[in-house]
Amino acid sequence: MITSMIAAKGSAGEIVLALVLLFIGIALIVKGGDFFVDAASWIAEVSGLPPLLIGATIVSVATTLPELIVSIIATAGGSVDIAVGNAVGSVVANLGLIMAISLLFMPSKVNRKDYLFKSAVLVFSVINLLLIGFFGGMKDGNHILNVGLGILVLELFFLFLGENVYSALKLGKKPMANGLTEDSNGANTDMAPSEEVPATEAEETPVKKDKKTILINILKFIGGAGGIVGGAFLLVNNGEKLAKVAGVPEGIIAITLVAIGTSLPELVTTISAIVKKKSSISVGNIIGANILDMTLILPVCAMVSGGALIMPRQSVLLDLPFCLGLSLIAVVPMLITKRFRRWQGVALAVAYAAYITLRVLFT
């Protein structure tokens, strides 16, 4: 009796410590990512790259670093469920939770051509992974993403990045970005995220190059990178401990605490966009982040795993189909009606709740 009580107290203490360290890891990732993106942007601007090009490449990739590093560390440590669950779970959380919040509070009109390519890449990247999951190799009842198939997925990443670069350079040649219109509530209606600031205004803003600024940005770059890596270690290691001590499968920890934790930069961006009534910043950031999650993280993890990343059957049979369903709810009605509507936010939230419920019940 006494032994069991001591064991129980020990387990409770382990859970509390793991939770504290896990949330410290999340905080390090969020703040580290913030510092890293700021410093990377400053370094790129000092080097003379166009600001729009910086946003389309360096910043967009940098904001995906938390998910990427967490999944790489998890893969290298043998926690494949956390690696795959984090990548796919981040997309589900971005759409079903974060984009749902954005659309519930800030439905808006859109310019369809600004979203058409990115929406198509998002949907096709999920379909691509589904097809690979169903028709790729098998090992011990699980699906395999090998390096060859991973390169096929990675091609979509380079296609998306190339389109971003092309659009940024094309926009940068114009004396002024297309006019920004706002509805009666102040929400922008006909602009893509990259078009909200006049190109000339961004380019005319002087970049500070004094010694103090240089030192601050070097420290931000190093400290931000260290925060992301250190936070990722804490997140993965304590996510594993929580799974073992509490008897919760790693996959559940991955799609909830880890996935939502690494998606916090997108959540912060969304809340900021809602406050500033800039809907396309929020939605554009979410769509771009999801494409990077789907096309960059798993192929890199396949290389880290030694050539074959195990994709659990649950990911192929449940996670990716929900990813596809949420993606279709998010973008298809918008492409048809040229509006993001509040009912889409409700539908995304309901689908997300159903996904989490099914994941818990059948894991």
Question: What is the tens place of the pLDDT at every residue in 7-57?
Answer: 444 567 778 888 888 889 888 888 887 787 778 778 777 776 665 566 556
Average pLDDT estimate for 139-164: 80
Beta-bridge partner residues of 109? 339
Q: Categorize the per-residue pLDDT at 60 as very low, low, confident or very high, splitting at 50, 70 and 90.
A: low
pLDDT of residue 86: 80
Q: What percent of the chain has pLDDT over 70?
A: 76
DSSP code, position 68? H
Q: What percent of the chain has pLDDT over 90?
A: 12
Average pLDDT estimate for 217-231: 84
Which range in 45-54, 68-77, 180-189, 192-201 is most confidently predicted, on average pLDDT? 68-77
Indicate whether 125 pLDDT > 60: yes
In a domain, 19, yes or no: no
In a domain, 134, yes or no: yes
Indicate whether 130 pLDDT > 80: yes
Strands 339-340 and 308-311: unpaired
Indicate whether 160 pLDDT > 80: yes
pLDDT of residue 269: 66
**Which residue did the predictor score with more confidence, 138 or 353?**
353
Q: CA dist 79 to 3, 70, 309, 325, Å? A: 31, 10, 11, 27
Beta-bridge partner residues of 108? 340
pLDDT of residue 194: 39
pLDDT of residue 56: 56
In a domain, 234, yes or no: no
pLDDT of residue 28: 87
pLDDT digits (tens, 9 = 90+) for 342-362: 999 999 999 999 998 988 887
In a domain, 28, yes or no: no
Task: Read off the pTM.
Answer: 0.73
In a domain, 42, yes or no: no
Query: What are the tokens at 97?
Result: 């939770």
The amino acid at residue 244 is: K
In a domain, 273, yes or no: yes
Beta-bridge partner residues of 309? 145
In a domain, 266, yes or no: yes
Place of tokens 């759409």: 95
Average pLDDT estimate for 81-87: 80
In a domain, 174, yes or no: yes
Cβ of 1: how many Cβ atoms within 10 Å?
Answer: 5
The maximal CA–CA distance of the chain, rounded, in angstroms, is: 78
CATH code, domain carrying 131: 1.20.1420.30
Indicate whether 113 pLDDT > 80: yes
Q: How many domains does the chain divide into? A: 1
- Structural domain of residue 63, as residue ranges? 49-219+249-362
Q: Categorize the per-residue pLDDT at 3 as very low, low, confident or very high, splitting at 50, 70 and 90.
A: very low
Give CA 205 to chain center in angstroms. 29
Average pLDDT estimate for 74-81: 80
* Burial zone of 240 (CB within 10 Å; 0-12 exposed, 13-18 middle, 19+ buried): buried
Place of tokens 């992974």: 129
Mean pLDDT of all residues in the chain? 76
Lowest mean pLDDT among 106-110, 133-137, 198-202, 207-211: 198-202
Average pLDDT estimate for 152-169: 84
pLDDT of residue 171: 67
Contact of 54 with 45, CB cutoff 8 Å: yes
Cα–Cα distance between 326 and 152 in angstroms, integer? 23
107-133: b (≥16 Cβ within 10 Å) or e: bbbbbeebbeebbebbbbbbebbbebb
